[in-house]
Amino acid sequence: MTATLTPVLTAHWDDPDAFRLDAYRRAGGYQALAKALATPPDDIIAMVKESGLRGRGGAGFPTGVKWGFIPQGDGKPHYLVVNADESEPGTCKDIPLMLATPHLLVEGAVIAAYAIRAEHAFIYVRGEVLHVVRRVQQAVAEAYQAGYLGRDILGSGYDLELTVHAGAGAYECGEETALLTSLEGYRGLPRLKPPFPAVAGLYACPTVVNNVESIASVPSIVANGGRWFAGLGTEKSKGYGIFSLSGHVTKPGQYEAPLGITLRELLDLAGGVRAGHRLKFWTPGGSSTPIFTDEHLDVPMDFESTAAAGSMLGTRALQIFDETTCVVRAVLRWNQFYEHESCGKCTPCREGTFWMTLLLDGLERGEGNEEDLEKLLDICDNMNGRVFCPLGDGAISPVVSSIKYFRDEFLEHHKRGGCPFDPAAATLFGDAQ
Residues 87-146 that bind other proteins (CB under 8 A): 87-92, 94-96, 99-101, 120, 126-131, 133-135, 137-138, 141
Cβ-based nearer residue to other proteins, 276 or 371: 276
Q: 122 forms bridges with which residues in the sheet?
A: 81, 163
Cβ-based nearer residue to other proteins, 62 or 369: 62
Query: Does residue 245 belong to the site contacting other proteins (CB under 8 A)?
Result: yes
Cβ-based nearer residue to other proteins, 17 or 370: 17
Query: Does residue 262 belong to the site contacting other proteins (CB under 8 A)?
Result: no
Through-space distance between the first and last CA atoms of the chain, rounded to whole angstroms: 42
Provide the angle, in degrees to the nearest 10, between the axes of the packed helices 390-416 and 370-383. 180
27 residue type, one letter = A
Distances (CA, A) of 62 to 18, 49, 340, 415: 29, 7, 31, 48
Restricting to residues 62-81, name those near other proteins by CB under 8 A: 77
According to CB under 8 A, which one of 44, 45, 118, 426 is a site residue for other proteins?
A: 426
Query: Does residue 246 belong to the site contacting other proteins (CB under 8 A)?
Result: yes
Query: Does residue 317 belong to the site contacting other proteins (CB under 8 A)?
Result: yes
Query: Does residue 339 belong to the site contacting other proteins (CB under 8 A)?
Result: no
Cβ-based nearer residue to other proteins, 68 or 231: 231
Q: Of 21, 5, 267, 263, which is closest to residue 147 (Cα–Cα)?
A: 21
Taking a C-beta distance cutoff of 8 angstroms, is the pair 342, 85 a contact?
no
79 residue type, one letter = Y
Strand order in the sheet with 207-211: 161-166, 120-125, 79-84, 207-211
Query: Does residue 319 belong to the site contacting other proteins (CB under 8 A)?
Result: yes
Query: Does residue 211 belong to the site contacting other proteins (CB under 8 A)?
Result: no
Restricting to residues 351-410, name those near other proteins by CB under 8 A: none
Residue range at the interface with other proteins (CB under 8 A); choices 59-67, 220-228, 353-361, 408-416: 220-228
Query: Does residue 307 belong to the site contacting other proteins (CB under 8 A)?
Result: no
Query: Does residue 36 belong to the site contacting other proteins (CB under 8 A)?
Result: no
Helices of type H across 83-196: 94-100, 102-116, 130-145, 176-183
In angstroms, what is the minimal distance from the CB of 382 to other proteins? 24
Query: Does residue 423 belong to the site contacting other proteins (CB under 8 A)?
Result: yes
Our separate counts of H helices and E strands in the chain read: 17, 9
Taking a C-beta distance cutoff of 8 angstroms, is the pair 209, 83 a contact?
yes
According to CB under 8 A, which one of 118, 270, 279, 356 is a site residue for other proteins?
A: 270
In angstroms, what is the minimal distance from the CB of 180 to other proteins? 10
